[in-house]
Structure 1
Amino acid sequence: MTVLCDLRSDTVTRPCAGMRAAMAAAEVGDDVYGEDPTVAHLEARLSEMLGKEAGLFLPSGSMSNLCALMALGGRGDAVITGKPYHVNAWEAGSASVLGGMMIVPLAPGPDAALEPEDVAAAIFEDDPHFARTRILSIENTVSGQAVSLARMDAAIAPARAAGLSVHLDGARLFNASVALGVEARELAARADTVSVCLSKGLGAPVGTVLVGPREVIHHARRARKLLGGAMRQAGVLAAAALWALDHVLPRLSDDHARATALAEGLSGLDIGAVRARTNMVHLRPHAQLGDLRGALAAKGILVGTPDPESRMVLHRDVDDQSLAAALTVFRNVSTGKPPVAMP
């Protein structure tokens, strides 16, 4: 089967010729010894971009989030976060299994932000019967939804008043920045530590950078080693991320525009309920999702798998031509039934 358009995630991108050339030319060294200049450059660049003192290059966003929590808290501490946020729902329970921390999940509001009154109520009293609440972990974007600065501030306020540290899972932080029309460092300024994925919106093949205070990043580096995530000549990977910052970051708005175009095209097909958020489109079809997904795949269009709603993600490997091909296939498999309401 020939794949015409892969919309499963923005993690499916492959290095283009320019990115591969940058990787091949990368100056490298042993990063465990602190001797890889390209890794050091990437860490320093993202730290400066986001207004933080130091950075740490890690293999994955899951490890980055866990290292941040382990650096900000310890075993027996409680972490407040959103029920659908990655730290709670999508990282194999690592904060509890490996970090020894108690996750306190909250249901977010319709805009994916945590409600300040819920955050305040979730902070345990200073009592030996309870875990010590030490961290608030927030996320932006959440399933493509950009959370406003005002709503971030509202959720953070009770945490700061109680002396909690704040971690921001900003895997797609730059998508949030573009959607909200604010600098990424304004979003990052709300948190002590920020995790930014390089293999999602930015389209690099591997990695995440965690930024924050120098002392916290020092502890996170130890946690990375403990978790088996120290790397050696990682400059070949960091070079791809640096290339992405130069060439992919400036065009993230194109992904958002194509997501809007896809949503508008699907809305006109009576195929189901459609919603666009930053570089993502969510579709709740009339027909069984598995049937629709199979029909699309047979024609070379790959979409996300969660039921009953399918997520489609626009990225740098989806151009206008492949998007038009996807819409043509959708048009051919459209059921023509009345639309259903999104929850």
Structure 2
Amino acid sequence: MSDEPLQLPHNRNNAVTRGVWRGRDGLIHKVLTHRRTDAPARWASSAEPRFWNYWRREADVYISGLPERLGLGAPKLAELRELPDGDLELVLEDVPGTHGGDLTLEDIAAVAFAAGRAQGAEPQPSEPWLSRGFLADYSTTRPADFSLLEDERAWALPLIARHFPPDLREALVRLHRNRERLLTVMARLPRTVCHLDVWPNNVIRRPDGTVVLLDWAFTGDGAVGEDAGNLVPDSFFDWPLRPGFAEHLPDLATEAYLEGLRAAGWSGDPRTAVLGIRASAVKYDWLMPWCLRAALDDSHRAYGSGEAVDPDVRYEARAAGLAICARWADEAVELADALGL
């Protein structure tokens, strides 16, 4: 690795990642490891190739050329180094372009289109290291005290009361009560290969408009619509709320994803793709109890850096994202009933 690397923001809790750096060589260095013992249990790595947090999956993705076969952009792999301790170092292109919280509505719609075009193609890859059961395994192992959903004291906190009105509270409680139904619906929908971590921090849009996805560590089996369904709410949770996003992004991303499916010649019922987008909201069932706990504990830190953030700015955005999840969950139940799922 570089003599003087600049460490980049990443999920330091995840046991599969030893670090991510930008080197003096102009490249990105990411070390995958199976030796960390300091990570929380919910982020433990695994040597099982089908497990959602299989430690070397991202290396397998790059070696196999999977992104190119799916028609999705990814950083070019300059080198894969096997380190003396058994870890793996990915040396990747440092992709120029718009990233993270700087992505516009148009940029995020372009990501949804790219995902639809990739997932509407046949046949889909079936490598043995693609993850299985990600949505249920991930979403049900996040730390969440669901008793807080019934805690009047927590909902009455000024920070919560300012951003989560009673109707939104009721909808989020319904989301939790429908969790098993929504997970079952997602498991019954048409399958495809999903990135499974599509959110603005894992997206770069090059100056020529090409969409590039980063961090392929979870990649595997998912429902049609699942990646687009994650992209929308996760465009709110870690950035200040921007004008027009809550009003326009859900429909823009849905239509862009369906357009991508059509462009690939997908012949499935578009209602199942919409259901996949809507029902995927179940992934964030745990986030409302987490917000309630953080408000009780007066703990508000930024993703990746751990720096203190303005709680009202954070909760305004998270309320907007969770409102989308709650609305989508209700719509998913109605649509699943109509489709007999």
TM-score (norm 1): 0.26
Q: RCO (CA 8 Å, sep 6+): is it higher in 1 or 2?
A: 1
Which structure carries more strand by proportion? 1
User: In terms of Rg, which structure is larger?
Assistant: 1
Structure whose residues are more often helix by fraction: 2
Q: TM-score, normalised by structure 2?
A: 0.26
